Amino acid sequence: MVRLYDENLEFIKTVLRRRFIEAFGVVPGISLDKSNNSYVLHKTSPEVWRRLHAHGVPSGRKARIIMVPKAIATADRTTKSEFVSGVCDAEASKTSFMETDRHPRGYPYLELKMYSPRFVDGLGTLLLGISDAFRPRVYHYHYGSILRLNGREQLRLVSSRLNLMHPRFSPPAR
C-alpha cells in the first residue's frame, strides 16, 4: 500500500489526488486517520509499486535508508525543482520566531525533518543545483536530520524557484 498523509483535505483532493492519478494512472482512495487527525490518500496497487521500484524506492522499512533517486540527482534544474517542491509540500513547515532585540518582526525559516540523513543531504545538494543562492543548513541528530533555509531572503528564493502548492506556504493575507 502507498499512503500520503496531510491534515488539509482540500489540498489532498485538489493537488495530491490529481498528481497521483497523473503519475500512476490509478485513482487513490481518501480517508480520515483519526489516530493522528489527518487525511490519508492511499492505494494498493502492484503497478504503483512497480513504478516506485523502477525509480529505486525499496519495499519495507525505508525511513533510515532512503536517498534522492539518481535520476533526480542528475536531472535538469526544472526536474530537481519539481522534486524538491513535492518533498517540501509534503514534509516541510514554515515557521517564525521572535527575538525582540534581534528580530522584532520575527525570523522566518523553512524546515524539513526526516529520519534519513542521506535524503536530507541529497535535498541540500539539489537546492544548490537549483540555485547557488540557496544556503541550506543541514543538521544530523540521533533521532533524524533537519534541513533549514533561514531568513526572509531564503524564503523569497523558495517562492521564486520552487513551485510549492500547499496552502501553508501561501503568503499571508494583507
Q: What is the pLDDT of residue 168?
A: 74
Q: How far is CA 28 from CA 23, 24, 25, 45, 118, in A?
A: 11, 10, 10, 9, 29
Q: What is the pLDDT of residue 174?
A: 44
Q: What pTM does this model have?
A: 0.73
Q: What is the pLDDT of residue 149?
A: 94
Residues in the chain, pLDDT under 50 = 173-174
Q: What is the pLDDT of residue 46?
A: 87
Q: What is the pLDDT of residue 103?
A: 64
Q: What is the pLDDT of residue 171?
A: 57
Q: What is the pLDDT of residue 100?
A: 63
Nearest to 8 by CA among 76, 86, 89: 89
Q: What is the pLDDT of residue 150?
A: 92
For residue range 31-56, list pLDDT tens digits in order. 998 877 788 888 888 888 888 888 77
Q: What is the pLDDT of residue 97?
A: 74
What the chain holds in terms of domains, given with CATH numbers, is 1-54 (no CATH), 63-174 (3.10.28.10)
